A and B are shown apart, each in its own frame.
Chain A
């Protein structure tokens, strides 16, 4: 069976870039078709952000309950140790994913976006063929095409995914807890999942080829995370390369030579690569930027009417960046003048404790030639943090230009600090100066007070520190 469709906008990929672009295009009255071979929601919703955060939450809750066994804590005692059922947690997580997946479908429907399920293959920049289940094919002709094919986990040559070698996607679908897990790669995905599995009760070793973890954050921010790992028996091995896995043994190479690490599962999280294969990119005359599709500041590719958004166009590979680009491209197609010019793209690392930030770190500011003042406020001096057991070694740090006090970056490490990023990025996008932050009354007792105090510290007069 073969169908033919003609549309104004064709969106390929139903992740947070693609579905947002399609919804916005539909809202703007553009006839829109979205093609996706998988469940709607993409990596973020199905295999990434949401499922990982669900499992991290379950793991954290289990870990917290364990504090109450025996002598207990906070005056709460559990008469017996809790048990962790990974299958049950995954089932719960799947329910969330399913709910959100259905929500996306509903939103697309509401915006009158036609969803075609199947694998798209481009014929040229304005047409593609979608092969659906059951041998159906749909020919789609479009005036504008938005490529939002996302990214895929990178495999290591000696550790192809399969069997006991897991990608992050595989790890989020495990039904039984591995006894011994080795995580390859100490980036944010590896550390988030590795710490979650440690909280669930697995013995976790992290091997990292370089000499540092979480390379996108500076040493001050990473230090509390390293401390947690040390306190919770996570073995972190730097300058160690994983080269192969067989019979429950991971072979690693260090300066001292080869070593075997016994483990049930190996989780490989060494990065993600843009998904540029298998959908006919070779049929499009599109300029590339290394492995990524090259786009300008309006996400237009070198082909007129062909746009690309999200992970496939480059770093940062973050769902919220993809969504912002998708929304923008839909508006441009609808005739609005837009360009992608955020002052900052915030990012969060859901480790223990969390690291959150937007804008430049002090080191990055110096490298950019800025003379900055830095204000730090420890969470240990924040009442709300103490009442939430979030006051250990965390802090909020504000970086501002010395000459005019413009906020150029805000970072924090500590429990629950991810929820502060809204305030951080808002300050930067609005062009706030230290005096603006100092002049805002924050609720007491909340952790937001730390942001206020960090700005005061940068001005030289923090009240509570």
Chain B
């Protein structure tokens, strides 16, 4: 019998490291050759790694959340024969460390996290195959004092006192038989200590604090957002747009659409407006390498579509929007959103955006201050459509209004230029026919 040390293979172009998303095996398990053993999360996508050999798992060289360098040991498997772990392989088991462990410069496979990275786009973060956060341990010995939905038990006088104090007994631990909340329990809760607990009386402690390691997609989002806000001087601009006519057109088109056509939301129209307006303001369609002080301007318009997924924010990319019809864009947006939500978006679909649009319209709210999807230099968001009374031609008229909320990298985009772009988009959206007047609008 020998030990086979399986090292993290190169799982994609330019990938130097990956994060362990989820182990599918445990020490002691017998694995077969080609059996999926671990999901690794790169900054692009989740990848399942298969075992190259069959045998018994002896050691996992990291836990969920650990970063493993390409070429670093991933798992050690006891195999028939000699295995591959020769004397020159350091032979020492790699210390299993969480991402929060201090980085050991002597151990090449342990990549300190958060690792300085060139501001990855949140989109790049990839897949919700990884849970956004893994609860680890309870700091306090207790949690909620009773099962969810279980009615707290207390005498009428105690219930009455809790009501008068505005305290929900669901959150008060009970020290009495069957978890009954006594007067002393309530007093202790009010005073914020647990003095009334009698030893061994089955008393649950006050709701504790849970430590949750921020790993996986959530860590990538956190890192990207922090870097974007730290590095980019955001300039926010909000304008209202009269979308009465646009909405009429949208509804008309949706009513006419064929079965094979995706339903039109506001986003394809906004994308269409960007296709027309952006070439007039080329500095917004770019990626800024602020370490090299180089701005990459693009002729193509690759629109990032900020998408909420069960795992967190992901930004799939509609490539070459400038070459797509309105219906194609609607289909693309729907397809990309579904792929992102189901974790099936490919690495290519999650990279390369040059300008991002976002929508919180479904949630309501009058304005937002979107965070730029670095290294892009602008992001434009739609807010909820609301019918409001407006003065039009001296008459008070109900109009359907929608706010556009935008943020720009003030290092690259001046306020005047940003406003000019948004005003141009406003003009296009308010006169929807101009969205389709190629070269004339």
Q: Using a Cβ–Cβ cut-off of 8 Å, how many residues does chain B contribute to the interface with A?
A: 15
Given A404-B179, A405-B177, A436-B177: A431 and B155 interface contact (C-beta under 8 Å): yes
Binding-face segment, A183-191, A331-339, A457-465: A331-339
Q: Is the pair A337, B163 in contact by a Cβ cutoff of 8 Å?
A: yes
Within 8 A of A (CB), among B158-191: 159-160, 163-166, 176-180
Given A336-B164, A338-B160: A430 and B155 interface contact (C-beta under 8 Å): yes
Residues of chain A with a CB closer than 8 A to B160's CB: 338
- Say yes or no for B301: interface residue by CB 8 A criterion: no
Give Cα A406 to B174, complex, Å: 14
Residues of chain B with a CB closer than 8 A to A338's CB: 160, 163-164
Q: Is the pair A341, B178 in contact by a Cβ cutoff of 8 Å?
A: no
* Closest B residue, CB atoms, query A433: B177
Give Cα A436 to B155, complex, Å: 14
Residues of chain B with a CB closer than 8 A to A431's CB: 153-155, 176-178, 180
Residues of chain B with a CB closer than 8 A to A436's CB: 177
Given A336-B164, A337-B163: A429 and B178 interface contact (C-beta under 8 Å): no
What residues of chain B have their CB less than 8 Å away from a CB belonging to chain A?
Answer: 153-156, 159-160, 163-166, 176-180
Give Cα A119 to B260, complex, Å: 66
Closest 6 CB pairs of A and B: A404-B178, A406-B178, A431-B153, A431-B180, A433-B177, A430-B155
Q: What is the 8 Å Cβ interface bit string for chain A, positions 284-306, against chain B (1 contact, 0 not)?
A: 00000000000000000000000
- Say yes or no for A53: interface residue by CB 8 A criterion: no
Residues of chain A with a CB closer than 8 A to B156's CB: 429-430
* Closest A residue, CB atoms, query B153: A431
- Say yes or no for A123: interface residue by CB 8 A criterion: no
Q: List 10 A-B contacts (CB under 8 A).
A: A336-B164, A337-B164, A338-B163, A401-B178, A431-B155, A431-B180, A433-B177, A433-B178, A435-B177, A436-B177
Q: Chain B: interface secondary structure?
A: helix
Give Cα A336 to B180, complex, Å: 24
Residues of chain B with a CB closer than 8 A to A339's CB: 163
* B150 CB → nearest A CB, Å: 11
Q: Is the pair A406, B164 in contact by a Cβ cutoff of 8 Å?
A: no
Give Cα A336 to B162, complex, Å: 12
Residues of chain B with a CB closer than 8 A to A435's CB: 177
Given A429-B155, A429-B156: A405 and B178 interface contact (C-beta under 8 Å): yes
Give Cα A336 to B161, complex, Å: 10
Residues of chain B with a CB closer than 8 A to A341's CB: 159
Give Cα A461 to B435, complex, Å: 86
Give Cα A433 to B179, complex, Å: 10
Residues of chain B with a CB closer than 8 A to A401's CB: 178
Residues of chain A with a CB closer than 8 A to B166's CB: 337
Residues of chain B with a CB closer than 8 A to A406's CB: 153, 177-178
Give Cα A338 to B159, complex, Å: 9
Residues of chain B with a CB closer than 8 A to A404's CB: 177-179
Give Cα A431 to B158, complex, Å: 11
Give Cα A404 to B179, complex, Å: 9
Within 8 A of B (CB), among A380-420: 401, 404-406
Give Cα A430 to B180, complex, Å: 9
* Closest A residue, CB atoms, query B155: A430
Give Cα A117 to B155, complex, Å: 39
Residues of chain A with a CB closer than 8 A to B164's CB: 336-338
Residues of chain A with a CB closer than 8 A to B178's CB: 401, 404-406, 431, 433
* A430 CB → nearest B CB, Å: 5
Within 8 A of B (CB), among A429-452: 429-431, 433, 435-436
Give Cα A333 to B308, complex, Å: 45
Give Cα A404 to B165, complex, Å: 29
Q: What is the 8 Å Cβ interface bit string for chain A, positions 320-351, against chain B (1 contact, 0 not)?
A: 00000000000000001111010000000000
Give Cα A429 to B178, complex, Å: 13
Residues of chain B with a CB closer than 8 A to A433's CB: 177-178
Assuming A338-B163, A404-B177, A406-B153, what are 17 further A-B pairs, CB within 8 angstroms? Answer: A338-B160, A338-B164, A401-B178, A405-B177, A406-B177, A429-B155, A429-B156, A430-B155, A430-B156, A431-B154, A431-B155, A431-B176, A431-B178, A433-B177, A433-B178, A435-B177, A436-B177
Residues of chain A with a CB closer than 8 A to B180's CB: 431
Residues of chain A with a CB closer than 8 A to B177's CB: 404-406, 431, 433, 435-436
Give Cα A336 to B166, complex, Å: 10
* Closest A residue, CB atoms, query B181: A431
* B210 CB → nearest A CB, Å: 26
* Closest B residue, CB atoms, query A428: B153
* Closest B residue, CB atoms, query A406: B178
Give Cα A435 to B178, complex, Å: 11
Give Cα A336 to B154, complex, Å: 19
* B131 CB → nearest A CB, Å: 29
* Closest B residue, CB atoms, query A336: B164
* B157 CB → nearest A CB, Å: 9
Q: Which residue, of B154, B166, B178, B180, has the highest number of chain A Cβ atoms within 10 A? A: B178
Q: Which residue, of A401, A431, A435, has the highest number of chain B Cβ atoms within 10 A? A: A431
* B96 CB → nearest A CB, Å: 39
Residues of chain B with a CB closer than 8 A to A430's CB: 155-156
* B220 CB → nearest A CB, Å: 42
* B172 CB → nearest A CB, Å: 13
Give Cα A404 to B202, complex, Å: 11
* Closest B residue, CB atoms, query A338: B163
Give Cα A309 to B176, complex, Å: 33
Residues of chain B with a CB closer than 8 A to A405's CB: 177-178
Q: Which residue, of B176, B177, B179, has the highest number of chain A Cβ atoms within 10 A? A: B177
Give Cα A435 to B164, complex, Å: 31
* A435 CB → nearest B CB, Å: 7
Residues of chain A with a CB closer than 8 A to B155's CB: 429-431
* Closest A residue, CB atoms, query B165: A337
Give Cα A272 to B222, complex, Å: 62
* A76 CB → nearest B CB, Å: 45
Give Cα A210 to B93, complex, Å: 76
Q: Which residue, of B154, B163, B179, has the highest number of chain A Cβ atoms within 10 A? A: B163
Give Cα A339 to B179, complex, Å: 22
Give Cα A429 to B163, complex, Å: 16
* Closest B residue, CB atoms, query A432: B177
* B198 CB → nearest A CB, Å: 15
Give Cα A404 to B174, complex, Å: 13
* Closest B residue, CB atoms, query A407: B178
* Closest B residue, CB atoms, query A400: B178
Residues of chain A with a CB closer than 8 A to B154's CB: 431
Give Cα A336 to B164, complex, Å: 7
Give Cα A341 to B170, complex, Å: 13
Give Cα A288 to B176, complex, Å: 40
* B231 CB → nearest A CB, Å: 50
Give Cα A341 to B152, complex, Å: 11
* B89 CB → nearest A CB, Å: 54
Give Cα A401 to B147, complex, Å: 15
* Closest A residue, CB atoms, query B177: A433
* B164 CB → nearest A CB, Å: 5
* B154 CB → nearest A CB, Å: 6
* Closest B residue, CB atoms, query A341: B159
* Closest A residue, CB atoms, query B152: A431
Give Cα A436 to B177, complex, Å: 9
Residues of chain B with a CB closer than 8 A to A429's CB: 155-156
Q: What is the 8 Å Cβ interface bit string for chain A, positions 334-378, against chain B (1 contact, 0 not)?
A: 001111010000000000000000000000000000000000000
Residues of chain A with a CB closer than 8 A to B153's CB: 406, 431
Give Cα A354 to B360, complex, Å: 63
* B149 CB → nearest A CB, Å: 10
Residues of chain A with a CB closer than 8 A to B163's CB: 337-339
* Closest A residue, CB atoms, query B180: A431
* B66 CB → nearest A CB, Å: 41
* A312 CB → nearest B CB, Å: 24
* Closest B residue, CB atoms, query A436: B177
Give Cα A59 to B163, complex, Å: 46
Give Cα A336 to B163, complex, Å: 9
* A200 CB → nearest B CB, Å: 40
* Closest A residue, CB atoms, query B166: A337
Residues of chain A with a CB closer than 8 A to B176's CB: 431
